[in-house]
Chains A and B, each alone.
Chain A
Amino acid sequence: MGLLERFENGDQVALARIISRVENRRTGYQDILARLYAHAGRAQRIGLTGPPGAGKSSLVFRLGELLSASGKKVGIIAVDPTSPFTGGALLGDRIRMQDLSLDPNIFIRSMATRGSTGGLAEATRDTTMVMDAFGFDLVLIETVGVGQVELDIARACDSVVVVFVPESGDAVQAMKAGLMEIADIYCLNKADRDGAERLVLELQSVLGLRQRTNNWEYPIIQTQAINNIGIDDLWQAIKNHREFCQSDTSPEDRQKERIANDLLTIVRGKVDRRLRSVLRDSETFEKVVADILAGSTNPYSAAERLVAELSTALTS
């Protein structure tokens, strides 16, 4: 039986291999995605992000446990950074989730950022779509909330949970890196530690300043992932957010927005790859660099000219 048939029969080995093909952008991956797309569109996508060590994996584990117990099928994607110097990565999120490894309702996949800007957001979206097509009811995506790319991934989700800890005061005050602003739900984990109440107050005061585009009341949920406390509340908040979104916009509008978003990401990825390969092989590019070095032109005027030339090359 072929890989795709096995996938469609619910074979996890096939799912894992297809994810690799997509992640490695191996020949034919687009055809696979095009075929699987017809099965996708049902899964609820939930992003969990936040500073390193905040307890994201521990929370994903608890949520996975809770959801599986109620019969839900859950795909989990855990993203960790690739070292920009060696291209290698240490993917350690499974350590906190290994007890879910034998759960037939759960599938966990670790992904490295592999350095490429934009590419990660694309590969992660594709993997989410593949899991969706496989038939998971929910896809949980863990990213470290530090870079723009991670924020892009979070934005591709239906609901975003930003995880803080009692020691996150400075980050909250600084509204760090847009982290505060992408949250639909704030989760204060490690609430067993000193300073939790104070951080809730800080969050509330900062939240008062947040720009609102609708009437969603941002909840602040206190959890203790290690003690399995507050997980029901967190899940309830996620459900509430989903219900709110469903009442706030029509299904067609949401569908449209999701499609537009996905399409833009895919096109951007394709143009970017095309651009790189055209630029790399381009003598003009080398020459322009030399010209700038020699002082006969500057990057601004040269870029203008290059873009004009490239738009011809890109469409050919």
Chain B
Amino acid sequence: MDKIRVLLAKPGLDGHDRGIKVIAAALRDAGMEVIYTGLRQTPDKIVSAAIQEDAQFIGMSILSGAHMTLFPAVAKLLKEKGAENIHLFGGGIVPDQDAAKLEEIGVGRIFTPGATTEEIVTYIRDTARDLPEETL
């Protein structure tokens, strides 16, 4: 199987990236290639970067409470650009009913604070196994 490539992004205005850096390091240690794009990313920049990098995953960390705008914005852009094969997941303080709504529009798991890095690694590996092999 191809190397797993994950793009990690921190959209919105909150200025802490300690958490996402810990996850980046954990994914790297699990043998993945992690593309980190830094703070204050807009949805269009995130999607454009993920397309150029041909990442299979976009992981977004959102602690500002703006998850119900940011996740749908990214999901919509992925569709528009013909990149809906990229699996979008995330982390943040997201109530269950919001997570359910996001799932309906194609967003994967949202990890809430307290999730371990092992859980995230396992989730990505399992999901990668089920991703469709694209054809020429």
Q: In this assembly, does A12 line the interface, its C-beta being within 8 Å of a C-beta of chain B?
A: yes
Interchain CB contact under 8 A, B49 and A88: no
Closest residue on chain B to residue A26 by CB atoms: B2
Q: Which A residues are in CB contact (< 8 Å) with B29?
A: 83, 86, 88
Partner pick for A112 among B33, B36, B41, B54, CB 8 A cutoff = B33
- Min distance, Cβ B128 to any Cβ of chain A, angstroms: 14
Q: Are A13 and B41 in contact (CB-based, < 8 A)? A: no
B63 interfacial by beta-carbon distance below 8 Å: no
Is B60 an interface residue when CB atoms closer than 8 A count as contact? no
Asked if A89 contacts B34 (CB within 8 A), the reply is yes
Q: Please, what's the 1-or-0 string for B42-79, where 1 marks a CB less than 8 Å from any CB in chain A?
A: 00110011011110000000000000000000000000
Q: Does B129 contact A (CB under 8 A)?
A: no
A17 to B5 CA separation, bound complex (whole angstroms): 12
Taking CB atoms, residues of chain B closer than 8 Å to A130 are: none
Beyond A24-B3, A94-B35, is A12–B51 a contact (Cβ under 8 Å)? Answer: yes
Mark A15-59 against chain B: 1 for CB-CB distance below 8 A, else 0: 011011000101010000000000000000000000000000000
Pairwise interchain contact A13-B32, C-beta atoms closer than 8 A: no
Nearest A residue (CB) for B46: A101
Would B54 and A94 count as touching, CB distance under 8 A? no
Which of A16, A26, A83, A102 meets B44, CB within 8 Å?
A: A102
**CA distance in complex: A12, B49 (Å):** 11
In this complex, the interface size class of chain B, counting residues with CB under 8 Å from chain A, is 20 to 34
Which residues from 111 to 144 on chain A have a C-beta closer than 8 Å to any C-beta of chain B? 112, 114
B37 within 8 A of A: yes
- Is B120 part of the contact surface with A, judged by Cβ < 8 Å? no
CB distance from A21 to the nearest CB of B (A): 8
Q: In the bound complex, do residue B134 and residue A88 qualify as a contact, i.e. CB atoms below 8 Å apart? A: no
Which residues of chain B come closer than 8 Å to A20, judged between CB atoms?
2, 54
Sampled A-B contacts (27; CB under 8 Å): A3-B136, A13-B82, A16-B54, A24-B3, A26-B2, A82-B33, A86-B28, A86-B29, A86-B31, A87-B31, A88-B30, A89-B34, A90-B28, A90-B34, A91-B33, A91-B35, A94-B35, A94-B36, A94-B49, A95-B37, A98-B49, A101-B37, A101-B48, A108-B49, A109-B52, A109-B53, A114-B3
Pick the 10 closest A-B CB pairs, nearest first. Answer: A88-B28, A95-B38, A16-B54, A87-B31, A20-B54, A101-B45, A101-B48, A88-B31, A91-B35, A24-B2
